[in-house]
Amino acid sequence: MTPTFKPQTVPELADYVALGGKFEVVGSGTKRGLGRPLQPETAIDMSGFTGISLYEPEELVLEAGAGTPLSEIEKALAKNHQQLAFEPPDFSNLLGGKHKGTLGGLMACGLSGPRRIKAGAARDHILGIAGVSGRGEIFKAGGRVVKNVTGFDVAKLMVGSYGTLAALTSITVKVLPAAATQETLVFNGLSDAKAIQAMSLAMQSACEVSGAAHLPGTPSQTLFRLEGIQPSVVYRRQKLASHLKIFGASDHLDEKDSVSEWKAIRDVERLSADDARFVWKLSLTPSKAAETVARISKQLDIQYFYDWAGGLVWLGVPRSNQAYAYIIRNCLEDGHATLFRAEDDVRERIEVFQPQLLALSGLTKRVKASFDPNGVFNHGRMYKDI
């Protein structure tokens, strides 16, 4: 078992990192299965950096230790009827974690839910960070205000860097009011291609759709979430139904059913149950999603569904040595494919993240080195040597 070091203060962490080594940076370990597997000498347990240090609802800002459980943050926000608008998913079922994880883990993996199409991604909600670089230096970037162009946007760079650049101790995020209510408009029985068209038309409308997903099945369901104050939600739902009437009659889910449906979509529950399958996450041009999936399904037995109006495809494939990486990436015209769930040996063998062209890969290496020249943090988690 890997020995663990649990710093209690930032200087303690900095001194430890400065001595060098091969570290795995861990919050609560719920997302250890993401990225390439590591062989660290020591795990650095970041759960000592916990607690909400600043929350000003009227300023729409919250600062917390990176090791703060998300549940704690969401509870505090809910009390003031606020939320992290990018809708952090709970992948504990999908990835086998015990709970939803920490703020640091969420940001390190850059995960966003269905509302991403309207409210932006995790990276759009980070305002500032503090932490320790791979050189063992304490640094900060960004601030606590939404409008800030002072220096490079290093805080954004941390989102989705899988802990390869720095060990974050504190994170400041923008929070937003939660909607008063929601409803979901449902079309049954659309083909994938028709659903993609319907979702595109919905997103081109002024109906402010905050979730657009298509779930294949018998019958298939195409879902559109509308959030806001009651009269506005009802108005927009009716307007959207009429706007999309060429796709047939529609039905709708009331608030309670809508909430649970979108939670299931957010958490990829459809593919969580079947442990036998590996799961891929495809980010692609929305209008190309159906044809891309059709190309893949000609070659593979797949289970899948579309979120982000087609811009996100969750794909379950049978287990195999190579997780069919070659076929899947070959079917992709643009965007990228990430192997999201598979055993360590598979994630060790193939590229978990989309391989990059030479110039970009070189730049990525240099950016990594600018924070962590000796590769002490999560070395190899994203790509070989990064």
What burial class does residue 263 get, using C-beta atoms within 10 Å of its C-beta: 0-12 exposed, 13-18 middle, 19+ buried? Answer: middle
Only segment of 99-107, 134-142, 246-254, 256-264 that touches another protein (CB under 8 A): 134-142
Nearer to another protein, 69 or 233 (CB): 233
Nearer to another protein, 17 or 26 (CB): 17
Helix (H, G, I), strand (E, B) or coil at 343: coil
d(CA 23, CA 297): 40
Nearer to another protein, 45 or 109 (CB): 109
Pick from 35, 95, 94: nearest CA to 350? 35
Collect all residues with Cβ–Cβ distance below 8 Å to 71 and sequence separation of at least 6: 99, 100
Q: Tokens representing 158?
A: 């941390």
d(CA 192, CA 212): 13
124 scored as a contact of another protein (CB under 8 A):
yes
178 scored as a contact of another protein (CB under 8 A):
yes
Interface of this chain with another protein, residues 330 to 359, rule: CB under 8 A:
334-336, 338, 353-354, 356-357, 359
Least distance in angstroms from the C-beta of 117 to another protein: 7
* Pairing, β 42-45 against β 4-5: parallel
Q: What share of residues in the chain are helix, strand, coil (percent, to 5)?
A: 35, 25, 40
363 scored as a contact of another protein (CB under 8 A):
yes
Least distance in angstroms from the C-beta of 193 to another protein: 13
Interface of this chain with another protein, residues 281 to 320, rule: CB under 8 A:
283-287, 308, 311-312
Please select the residue that binds another protein; options are 75, 93, 370, 385, rule is CB under 8 A: 370
Please select the residue that binds another protein; options are 148, 220, 297, 374, rule is CB under 8 A: 148
Least distance in angstroms from the C-beta of 170 to another protein: 14
Interface of this chain with another protein, residues 20 to 79, rule: CB under 8 A:
56-61
Phi, psi (deg, nearest 5) at residue 303: -115, 140
